[in-house]
Copies of this chain bind each other. A is one copy, B any other.
Amino acid sequence: MPSEIPDIVISRLPVYLRALERLSQEGQEVTSSHELGRRLGISSAQIRKDLSHFGGFGKQGTGYKIAFLKDQLRSVLKVEREWHVALIGAGDLGSAIARYRGFADRGFHIRWVFDSAPEKVGRKLGPYTILPISNLSETVRANHVKIAMVAVPAEYAQAVTDTLVASGVEAILNYAPINLKVPDNVHVQYIDPVLHLQRMTYYLSE
């Protein structure tokens, strides 16, 4: 498998995987680049080109075996395994994240929830006992945690991120409404639904 797959291709693979999982649930066993393209609004040529980076999983005319292609994509994306995740922030948003079952269903298990507020530490949040932020660095190091979700107020997000990075975290899902500074070897993805809403209002009729 080639080591250098363009980032833009990698960013599309989870979308393909999600569509394949959906097709599986619908009872389908084989698909084509055309069918995937129609479902996703992506050209079939683009899909074939993206998948060809991994040696080509399908043949013209016979289509893709969904189960096989799913396994291949999971392996490429390293999501065939279970990941343990640290969540920082047990406010409104952090609580919603901790209770959301969609992460564990797809292989991302929140194992630890941290907060800095003394009145929250030790309290239960769903299945978790909220841990003090002073334990964050030690916990991340001891458990070789690679993935963290940041759901603290904007003004604390960079400091929390710096601690995470210094402790070995390499991937951060940031819910705080602020852009984070991280070294090149650390990846950040942003979740801010209001940004997405604001990307649409421009187009609305009066």
Looking at the assembled complex, report how far the CB atom of A178 sits from the nearest CB atom of chain B, in whole angstroms.
Answer: 6
Cross-chain contact A189 with B179 (CB below 8 angstroms) = no
Would you call A203 and B100 a contact (CB within 8 A)? no
A41 within 8 A of B: yes
Nearest CB to that of A195 among chain B residues?
B14
A76 at the interface (CB under 8 A from B): yes
- Please determine whether A179 and B146 come into contact, CB atoms closer than 8 angstroms: no
* Known contacts A96-B96, A178-B22, A194-B108, A14 near B170 by CB under 8 Å: no
A103 adjacent to B194 (CB under 8 Å): yes
Given the complex, which residues of B lie within 8 Å of A173, measured CB to CB?
A: 193, 196-197, 200
The 8 closest A-B pairs by CB, nearest first: A96-B96, A189-B196, A171-B200, A14-B198, A187-B200, A78-B201, A14-B195, A106-B194
Docked complex: A174-206 residues within 8 A CB-CB of B: 177-179, 181, 187, 189-205
Instruction: Judge if A64 is at the interface, Cβ distance under 8 Å.
Output: no
For the complex, what is the distance from the CA of A100 to the CA of B200, rounded to whole Å? 20
State the CA gap A120–B125 with chains docked (Å).
24
- B102 A202 Cβ-Cβ under 8 A: no
Query: How far apart are A174's CB and chain B's nearest CB, in angstroms?
Result: 9
Query: Given contacts A78-B202, A154-B22, are A197 and B147 in contact (CB under 8 A)?
Result: yes
Q: Do B171 and A77 touch (CB < 8 A)?
A: no
**Bitwise interface map of A from 24 to 66 toward B, beta carbon under 8 Å scored 1, else 0:** 0000000000000001110000000000000000000000000
Q: A111 at interface (Cβ–Cβ under 8 A)? A: no
Whether A146 contacts B101 in the complex (CB less than 8 A), given A15-B195, A179-B19, A197-B173, comes out as: no
Given contacts A96-B100, A99-B92, contact A195 B18 (CB under 8 A): yes
